[in-house]
């Protein structure tokens, strides 16, 4: 066998250009499959890490109507991850009780509104508005690009100050000078004290979608909306293993404080993010299978190229085959020699395709900001598949070579 492999390499390197062109179809096919699988796996991993715990072991406890809960049933795709109605007042004792659970690290009660209208002079913006406290900024950090963030004593104060995102700044202040300028919110002037980066951790609550945002201190929220009950409740678990459990325990505790009448109207729920992420990952895997099937067409083309070049090789080496047979070489020896050459040829193409596919996946993953994952089953499967292509498409030329008659082969010019 080792002698057959050595002869195969001699034959391949004796015709470098021809061998390279023959391997091209296999290289492209394997590279496409490896790159597709790696990118899809990275996308699935990013999806799961962002959805399960919003990237920081945090889950939203949602207050929604009982009719919505009943209508949704067990369909995970219709679970809400954010509340669209104000929750009843929540006592500080309830918050501390939830925070005391071993699997709960932190809890934040905050406010959110989609219907905000912001104005500066003749410029307008329609951002998401959040009423935040210190724990909110611990759970969903922001990255300041101008000015400052809220100071500790300002969260519960009535100070009319705000933080705006870069998107809101660009819409309200086209010239870029936003810090210490006034913005009109619901007819009330607020002073901008800082500008933060457009993409924030809280965007994961909305599927990674980013839009202009304005943060106001929690204490000033009633001035804008007329109520101080929280609209959103975020619970951070101590580890990724306890995210769902922490959210469900918080929801149970919050529901226990509701009266039967309140429970009939609405209650606290937690979306099963693990189930949603798994369903979406399953979709990604099916999509990868489809794309892999399409990419496999180039492997078929590569296999036909291998068969063609092996038939040419058999024709070129007819006298060599005749001499070997005249010296006593058996049919199976000739068959194995040419079959080995075909397998070595496609295996080299498969190995180069794997390297090219991983390199391409690494570049694409870095460019779009996704984790780069090497799928070991895909790598092993790609190499085995390339060897199978060599066996299938190399068998006919090998069989033809093994069936040549010594006298006819020696007479061949």
Distance CA 378, CA 163 (A): 47
pLDDT along the chain (413 residues), means of 10: 65 73 82 83 68 67 71 49 65 87 88 83 89 88 90 89 91 89 91 83 50 90 82 82 83 85 80 67 72 73 78 71 72 75 83 88 80 80 82 76 64 53
Q: Which pLDDT score, from 0 to 100, does residue 2 have? A: 63
Q: Which pLDDT score, from 0 to 100, does residue 367 have? A: 81
From start to end of 203-347, where are the E strands? 213-217, 232-237, 266-270
Q: Which pLDDT score, from 0 to 100, does residue 37 have? A: 81
Domain boundaries, the chain: 1-49+278-411, 89-257
Q: Which pLDDT score, from 0 to 100, does residue 78 have? A: 41
Question: CB of 30 within 8 A of CB of 292?
Answer: no
In 3D, which of 382, 391, 385, 309 has the Cα closest to residue 343?
391
The residue assigned the tokens 């001035």 is 223
DSSP string, 106-140: EEEEEEEES---EEETTEEE--EEEEE-HHHHHHS
DSSP string, 66-96: HHHHHHHTT-GGG--SS-SSPPPP--HHHHH
Q: Which pLDDT score, from 0 to 100, does residue 180 have? A: 92
Q: Phi and psi dihedrals of 211, rounded to 5? A: -140, 165
Q: Which pLDDT score, from 0 to 100, does residue 217 have? A: 93
Q: Which pLDDT score, from 0 to 100, does residue 206 have? A: 47
* Other beta carbons within 10 Å of 3: 10
């Amino acid at each position: 066998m080792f002698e057959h492999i050595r002869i195969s390499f001699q034959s391949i390197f004796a015709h470098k250009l021809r061998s390279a062109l023959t391997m091209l179809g296999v290289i492209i096919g394997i590279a496409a499959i490896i790159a597709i699988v790696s990118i899809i796996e990275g996308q699935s991993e990013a999806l799961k890490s962002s959805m399960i715990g919003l990237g920081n072991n945090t889950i939203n406890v949602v207050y929604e109507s009982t009719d919505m809960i009943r209508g949704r049933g067990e369909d995970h795709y219709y679970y809400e991850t954010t509340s669209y109605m104000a929750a009843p007042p929540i006592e500080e004792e309830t918050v501390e009780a939830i925070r005391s659970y071993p699997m709960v690290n932190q809890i934040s009660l905050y406010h959110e509104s989609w219907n905000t209208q912001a104005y500066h002079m003749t410029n307008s913006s329609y951002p998401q508005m959040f009423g935040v406290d210190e724990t909110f900024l611990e759970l969903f950090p922001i990255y300041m690009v101008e000015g400052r963030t809220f100071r500790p004593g300002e969260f519960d104060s009535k100070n009319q100050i705000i933080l705006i995102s870069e998107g809101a700044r660009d819409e309200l202040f086209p010239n870029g000078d936003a810090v210490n300028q006034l913005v009109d919110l619901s007819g009330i002037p607020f002073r901008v004290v800082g500008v933060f980066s457009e993409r924030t951790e809280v965007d994961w609550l909305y599927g990674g979608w980013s839009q202009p945002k304005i943060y106001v201190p929690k204490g000033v929220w009633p001035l804008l909306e007329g109520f101080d009950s929280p609209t959103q409740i975020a619970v951070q678990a101590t580890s990724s293993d306890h995210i769902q459990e922490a959210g469900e325990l918080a929801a149970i505790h919050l529901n226990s404080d509701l009266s039967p009448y309140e429970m009939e109207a609405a209650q606290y729920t937690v979306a099963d993010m693990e189930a949603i992420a798994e369903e979406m990952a399953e979709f990604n895997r099916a999509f990868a299978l489809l794309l892999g099937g399409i990419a496999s067409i180039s492997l078929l083309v590569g296999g036909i190229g291998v068969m063609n070049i092996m038939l040419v090789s058999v024709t070129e080496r007819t006298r060599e085959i005749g001499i070997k047979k005249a010296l006593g070489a058996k049919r199976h020896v000739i068959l194995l020699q040419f079959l080995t050459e075909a397998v070595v040829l496609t295996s080299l193409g498969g190995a180069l395709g794997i390297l090219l596919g991983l390199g391409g996946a690494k570049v694409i993953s870095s460019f779009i900001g996704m984790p780069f994952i090497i799928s070991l089953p895909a790598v092993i499967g790609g190499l085995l598949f390339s060897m199978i292509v060599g066996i299938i498409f190399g068998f006919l030329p090998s069989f033809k070579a093994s069936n040549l008659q010594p006298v006819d082969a020696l007479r061949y010019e």
